[in-house]
Structure 1
Amino acid sequence: MNRTEYMNALEKRLRILPGDSYREAMAYFQEYFDEAGPEREQQAIEDLGSPENAAEQIITNMAIDKTSVPHKGIRKNMNALWIGILAICAVPVALPFALLLLALVLLCLLCILLMLAAFVLLALCVAVLGPVIFAAGFTVLLSAPAAAMTCFGMGLFFTGFGLIAVYGIVLACKWTIIGMARLFGRILKKKGERNEQA
């Protein structure tokens, strides 16, 4: 196997990574071969091991790095979470167990995200209901001023409560994703420590 074949095999295995992480991983291997030079290409391939092992190792290292540092923004945290899931699946265990674990993790993640999405929708409905109630107060302002004042008060309350609830739930979503990414990072770190001891 030469450098081109090795890089092609690596590229197929690393394509599952998010864009930035994929480019970072490929740049690492390009730089590794560039530093080795053409005369030590075979030695570099032997040092790296098979493309499968090299891809598994880089995914695991990326997952540990990305989950150990909290990121700003949900997109970066989702990338870290995805890399963590990929790294757990890349660990050499029995394939059925890995698939079962992946399915279980993805279902739990999906349930949590759907529950949070339902709370966001509920809070948005409450926030939208507020201005509707407030506007309804104007329809009875002249005929029932007390009822109009009640509508104004309830409208303002629901609007404020709904907006605060949306903000709180968005923060809960962010911290849930960060927490899951850190959990995967801890799992991978422990597995890496066990592999080093073995």
Structure 2
Amino acid sequence: MDKASYLKKLRWKLRRLPVQEIDAALAYYEEYFEEAGQENEQQVIKQLGSPSAVAAQIIADFALKDIDSTASSTKKNMTTLWLVILAILSAPLSLPLLATVFLLILTVGIVIFSIIFSIIAVIVSIFLGGIAAFIAGFLVLMEHWPTALLFMGLGLIVIGISILLYPFVARVIKKIGQVSVQIVSQLFHKITKKRQEEF
């Protein structure tokens, strides 16, 4: 038996394997023969054994490799299945907790909006009160001029105070908005980080 007939028989014995496995095995043994040289073909054939024995070894190795890859994919599938089961079992606990967190964030938002709205309402009411006092003083001017001057002066002072307070109040409202966004984002980040650590 020479190299060509040996490799031909080996290919026939490996016919049940995938084509790429057959090609890889034959390429290996062909290279083995070439390294030994043409003069040592018979010695290599004796060393390797029959094509049937070599084919049996290759098929066994392939079967073991296939079992390992199947076990690995099965393990991954089982891990995914356990995560799904854990998520389903923790749903009765996590859904109310998530709803509570959502309501907490919503409540913080409503409180911050209420504070901003009340500050704006106070400034607007001071400004409108100043205008009302100035108009009232102007209407009383014909009846009692000292009272009219008092009301008009107080009205102008209150209007001036509300105009002076406007930039300060605008800065305070802007700062409250920035701090509230920062607090809500940090709270959301902590919650999502804890959820990721649980899984």
> TM exceeds 0.5?
no
| Alignment TM-score, normalising by the size of structure 2 | 0.44
Greater helix fraction, Structure 1 or Structure 2: 2
User: Which of the two has higher C-alpha Rg?
Assistant: 2
> Larger relative contact order (C-alpha < 8 A, sep ≥ 6)?
1
